[in-house]
A and B are shown apart, each in its own frame.
Chain A
């Protein structure tokens, strides 16, 4: 049934720390299996956020994957060599010269 394979592992990093997960796990589950429950912070009050619905709807589990921000970590499988960083902010969209 399950797509997660109990004997096959993939390596990835979170915030620069090397970690290992079962092949087929979502990024969110892979991080949870490594004890990471805080996946990022909210955009305004910068409060911690983690897995809530794990169905791609609540948008609480954003992380940055290989430089791409706002990836729903519950809807994407972990892959060998992925560099994961916490979802910490909205991207900066202003340019110098634009003023405040």
Chain B
């Protein structure tokens, strides 16, 4: 299969890039492992914060449905339930549908592989009933199944607050939130919101053991006030996200470690092109960020790819690149200034390397 652009990952970033590129006249193939488009955001029943000003207020689900509508109306080749398994020596990507494997030859490759939830280590974390908080959210919103009756949540952060709301709507009770950090290290705003919901939070605490007959029934937690046995049939881990970089690594893109961006991230330039020419990285795969931020990274890369394909003049490219970066700076600063600063740092790094390498 041959194409101008191959996009790996059909979440918000991949879909946004696909639309822009197809609208701009590029031939686009979009690959996603799942049986439907939309990625994690597809199952977010909460209102998406940080969408750029041009969008109205909507939930993740509404936003993604709109985007999928746009993709479906364009001539974009969609390969759902397809995974990239490797790279051929000539640089083609090896893609499988589970029955056969075939090469896709693409002039430009965009990695929009997203981020994965981090696991957390505690005795019993491998038991059935222990799952990521995102898995619990997806089971409720997409699969229409209650993942349990009573949950213990490990980790207090923005995502915990969002899913706690969902749990209370779905009558999943929350026995408590176990937070490793000291109370002073957690923003007061989060604590206030949790108190409003009357959910107990245990600071400076951790899970010491998970008990049950082959699945979660109870947990022993170690708190500053001693041990406590808690009844729960589900333990949800909310421990942040890390960019998915497997394919970038296989393509020999250089990576750097950056805690604020979620860990290992590919190094990229102002067009989100990695250290491997014509391979781009966008969305959460380019550093975990807010919803608005990940859409803008997709816009910036699409602009650059259209220029590479001679579908956009240099002048158009430059003007657009500048205004998109301005918008990205604004959006990410509202959400988290640190994320944007660190992102700018990565770009400086790559510029230096290009200059001296």
Contact = CB atoms under 8 A, between A and B. Distances in A.
Nearest to B246: A57
Contacts, number: 89
A48 B117 contact: no
A83 B124 CA distance: 30
Contacts of A38: 128, 214-215
B228 interface: no
21 contacts: A3-B36, A4-B143, A25-B145, A33-B144, A33-B145, A37-B215, A38-B215, A39-B128, A48-B128, A48-B214, A48-B215, A50-B215, A52-B119, A52-B132, A53-B117, A53-B134, A54-B134, A56-B34, A58-B119, A60-B126, A75-B33
Contact of A25 (B116, B126, B143): B143
A26 B62 CA distance: 22
B135 A51 contact: yes
Given A4-B142, A25-B143, A38-B214, 4 more contacts: A29-B139, A39-B128, A48-B128, A51-B135
B147 interface: yes
A42 B127 CA distance: 10
B144 A4 contact: yes
B240 interface: no
Interface string B120-161: 000000111111101100110111110100000000000000
Contact of A42 (B36, B62, B126, B147): B126
Interface string A20-50: 0010011001001100011100100001111
